[in-house]
Structure 1
Amino acid sequence: MIKQMKRLGGALALVMLAATGPLHAQGQPFAPVVIVNGTGVTNFQIDQRARFLSLLGAPNADLASARETMVDETLQVQAARAAGIELTAEELDAGMVEFAARAGLEPAQFIEILERGGIAGETFRDFVRNGLYWRQLVQQRFGPQARPSEAEIDRTLARGTAGGVRVLLSEIALPQTPENRDEVAALARQLSETISSEAAFQQAARQYSRSASARRGGRIDWLSLSQLPPPLVAQVLALGPGQVSNPVDLGAFVGLYLLRDLDESGVTRTEALSVDYAEYLIPGGRSQEALARAAQIQARIDTCDDLYGVAKGQPPEVLTRTIARLDDLPGDLRQELAKLDDDEVSTLLTRGGNLRFVMLCGRVVEPPEGAFEAVGQQLLNERLTSYAQGYLAELRSDAIIEDG
């Protein structure tokens, strides 16, 4: 709704030139069309709301959708009043000022233009009033439990998922060595050229991929583009949803990627500058013995610090703990670390005949000014929206809604 206000100026200008006819002139305008827990919603109210939403350029501005919106708002206001919430005249005036200001107008100017288009000023007041009732109820009911902790905000910033472009990928990771490089390249080309659906990609991932995501059909969670190695970024940006990349050689493995979704709606750009990770070397490469040893270690430990006990008495080069800039990491390691949360492990990579047991200890970020507050507000709004949707569904299921 708020985004539609950007186009409101042009729409209001059209209203001033010519008022449109009524959207719903049939029947008695003040007869209730629907009764919600004993409160009637009239033809006039639904017609007015449809006109108002149409003027704003909002979606679902037809009469049927406006009817459902008015039912929802009636339930919301009833619930707010039952919770003891009442709006003051000052709060309502402030809400109207805020809304009209989005079109660069005073409330009186906004109402005058609406009335020229056949929309009563009371329709605007009701729209603002109902929204304020619901907002206060949701904040009162869910605000404390929805508010994110500082640790949650820090984790969101560290993951780089609060801004910029994020991608939702599936992967097929094919480990390569000097001995099997040609064979892996041929398989990667074949898969890239023949996979034509997400289902086929999932099947191939389970069959061929050696990444931990293989058992999920290659599906990995949202990643910020800033976390990915440049060769992969170039491939991903050329894809549309459902398309498969060309093979991407990342050193220790060749990757194929399917783009499931792309999100550019972040409120602010945050960038993980460095990562803190531990690497424990297990002799035997990707042999069954080495992989079994890695599984045993993973079952025993919870954090990077626990690896010091595993490596006790062994040569110092067996275990390393490193803080490095993302830009300085080789592509294969950077890609694996991008997929990990704190204290998660990757066993995809090898080096010098050793299996690399790589564990992410943490990320080091330098968010832009104001990012912490912006991300906190974003997380709060997302949770409040989720709680509000669930609560509204409960109100509807418990309500008595009858045709008038």
Structure 2
Amino acid sequence: MRRILLGAAMAAMLAAGGVAPAFAQGNPFQPLVYVNDSAVTRYELEQRIRFLQILRAPDADRASAEQALIDDRLRLFAAEQMGIAASDAQIDAGLAEFAGRANLGVEEFTRALAQAGVERQTFRDFVAAGIVWREVVRQRLVPQVQVSDAELDQEMQRLLETPRITHVALSELIIPAPPGQEAQAMGLAESLVQSVRSEADFAAAARRHSATPSAGEGGRLPWMPLENLPPSLRPIILSMKPGQISQPLTVEGAVVLFYLRDSRGTLRPGAREQVLDYVRFRLASLAEANRIAALSDTCADLFVHARGLPPEQIQRQTLSQGQIPATEALRLAVLDDNETSVVSQGGAAELLMLCKRQSALLASGAAPEAPVAVTAEGETAAAPDPDALPDREEMRNQIFSRKVGQAADNYLAELRANAIIRRP
């Protein structure tokens, strides 16, 4: 998605002829703010604003650009404190990787920036700050981040309980972008992204600006299966929530916006089936059963109290709901993990403790077999199964990356709180 938008942004900039920015009045090298005695100048700020505008970044306003420069100073400060610096080779690789997102080489990318009044040094400083910050995060924060099995189980369960989107209700707005007018079309689309707050707003904009037959209906399209959408569009729509407008998408001769009115989905097959791990403990009296229940926090604790008793008095089983006797299943239905239920059985008593309630799909640990597909060459290949759960290690890596990102944000906030930030 970001690659698409960056490429579109550069194309729009080149089509617009690369107009240089109008700099604010006054000394361009006047310090605007000091961050731990490192000055951010007016020139740097104007350069960063223009750079963000070229990238079509949503935070290209003056306040956001200044905060981004302050944060870069903090990142560089943290790197300097740790003895971290970016080599020329690392920076060159970073420039190439960033320019490649727009399908351009570094020289072509920097020439396009220059046409818009942005110096190569601005681009280089932006990339260098990101490089040293990644190394700070790798050395300082990554060793502190761990993903427990409990976190992984919780995330897998959340994924399992989240319906897979099968149908979407979209509204469309297609802005014509004939040759030479790409930048104007993109500018209009971006202004709509900022101003549209509701379906009614989007419908009014579609009636006014859209060049499709659906414009008369406010851009409304009928419910459609997700699989009917082009493969390149599906991940974009899946990343949206009902009531959200997409970022501008460029197609040949037009800029397109979508509004997600609603979505429908279904759970994976077998997602509602449960497997219960539980203990049945028969005791001589109700008082004894209640005493042991009060002293036991886990299923393992029950076996401590069962030492010396015949093994048939205590049993631990892992069964699907359909295999559990109805009377026991009803008692277990109201329990959370490590909760107990005690019932009197004449002069004796029975204690049930639920050790773990788990989806049958997660408990099996086996993903459904992928259907066999045939390639154009006649070879068989496994087609991806939309019902399959992700591999646990893949999910662990996703959680790890998310936690590292959160830790980096928290550390940057800490640096900001401890820094001396002042204005002249």
Task: Give the TM-score normalised by structure 2.
Answer: 0.55
User: Where in structure 2 are the equivalents of 1:129-140 lying within 5 Å?
Assistant: 129-140=128-139
Structure 1 residues 37, 158: CA separation in 2 closer, same or farther (over 3 Å shift)? closer
| RMSD of equivalent CA atoms | 4.3
> 1:284-306 CA deviation, whole Å, 9 max, x = no partner?
xxxxx98x988754442243233
Q: Which amino acid letter does the alignment assign opposite residue 141 of structure 1?
A: R
Distance of 2:411 and 2:311 partners within structure 1: 59
Aligned to 1:379: 399
| Matching of residues 160-199 of structure 1 within 5 Å | 160-161=155-156, 164=159
Determine the structure 2 residue equivalent to 1:10.
8
C-alpha distance in 2 between matches for 1:112 and 1:162: 50
Q: Give how far 1:31 is off.
A: 1.6
1:84 is paired with a residue whose SS is coil
- Structure 1 residues 26, 370: closer, same or farther in 2, change over 3 A? same
Residue 359, structure 1, aligned to residue 324, structure 2: no
Aligned-residue offset at 1:80: 0.5
Partner of 2:298: 303
Residue pair 2:96, 2:105 contacting (<8 A) in 1 also: yes
SS in 2 for 1:40: strand
8 Å contact from structure 2 (residues 281, 352) kept in 1 = yes
CA contact (8 A) 1:16 1:113 kept: yes
In 2 relative to 1, CA 328–315 (structure 1 residues): closer, same or farther, beyond 3 Å? closer
Q: Distance in 1 between matches of 2:11 and 2:392?
A: 40
Please tell me the residue identity of whatever aligns with 2:154. Answer: R
Q: What secondary structure, in the 3-state scheme, does the structure 1 residue paired with 2:32 have?
A: strand
1:38-117 maps to which residues of 2 (within 5 A)?
Answer: 38-117=37-116
1:1-400 to 2 correspondences below 5 Å: 4-18=2-16, 19-20=18-19, 22=21, 24-148=23-147, 152=148, 154-161=149-156, 164=159, 275=275, 277-280=277-280, 296-310=291-305, 316=312, 320-324=315-319, 340=337, 344-345=338-339, 356-360=352-356, 364=363, 365-366=365-366, 371-400=391-420
Change (3 A) 1:398 1:278: same
Displacement, 1:72? Answer: 1.2
For 1:333 and 1:94, the matched residues in 2 are separated by 62
Q: Which amino acid aligns with 1:28?
A: N
What is the distance in 2 between the residues matched to 1:332 and 1:49? Answer: 64
8 Å CA contact 1:277, 1:322 repeated in 2: yes
What's the % identity of the aligned pairs?
A: 32
- What is the SS of the residue equivalent to 1:391? helix
- Equivalent position amino acid for 1:106 in 2: G
Taking structure 1 as reference, are residues 100 and 279 closer, same or farther at Cα in structure 2, changes over 3 Å only?
A: same
Residues in 2 aligned to 1:328 and 1:138: alpha-carbon distance in whole angstroms = 50
Q: Is 1:401 matched up with 2:405?
A: no
Look up the match of 1:174.
none
Larger radius of gyration: 2
Q: For residue 355 of structure 2, what is the amino acid of its counterpart?
A: M
SS of the residue corresponding to residue 14 of structure 2 reads: helix
Letter aligned with residue 51 of structure 2:
F
Q: Offset at 1:4?
A: 3.3
Equivalent residues, number: 286
Distance 1:52 1:240, change over 3 A: closer
Quick one: structure 1 residues 315 and 139, their matched pair in 2 at CA, closer, same or farther if it must change by over 3 Å? closer
The verdict on how the C-alpha distance between 1:69 and 1:315 changes in structure 2, with shifts beyond 3 A counting, is: same
Distance 1:348 1:137, change over 3 A: farther
Q: Is the 8 A contact 1:336 1:346 kept in 2?
A: no
Question: One-letter code of the match for 1:383?
Answer: K
Instruction: Name the TM-score, length of structure 1 as normaliser.
Output: 0.57
Write out per-residue CA displacement over residues 118-162 of structure 1, whole angstroms, 9 at most, x where no aligned residue. Answer: 2222222111100111111122112212244xxx2x434433438
Is residue 32–residue 39 contact of structure 2 (8 Å, CA) maintained in 1?
Answer: yes
Structure 2: which 5+ residue stretches go unaligned? 163-240, 244-264, 266-270, 368-387
Contact 1:304/1:361 (CA < 8 Å) preserved in 2?
A: no
Distance in 2 (alpha carbons) for counterparts of 1:163 and 1:116: 49
Consecutive unaligned residues in structure 1, runs of 5 or more: 168-238, 242-263, 265-270, 284-288
Which residue of 2 is the match for residue 215 of structure 1? none
Secondary structure in 1 matching 2:26: coil
What is the distance in 2 between the residues matched to 1:139 and 1:100?
24
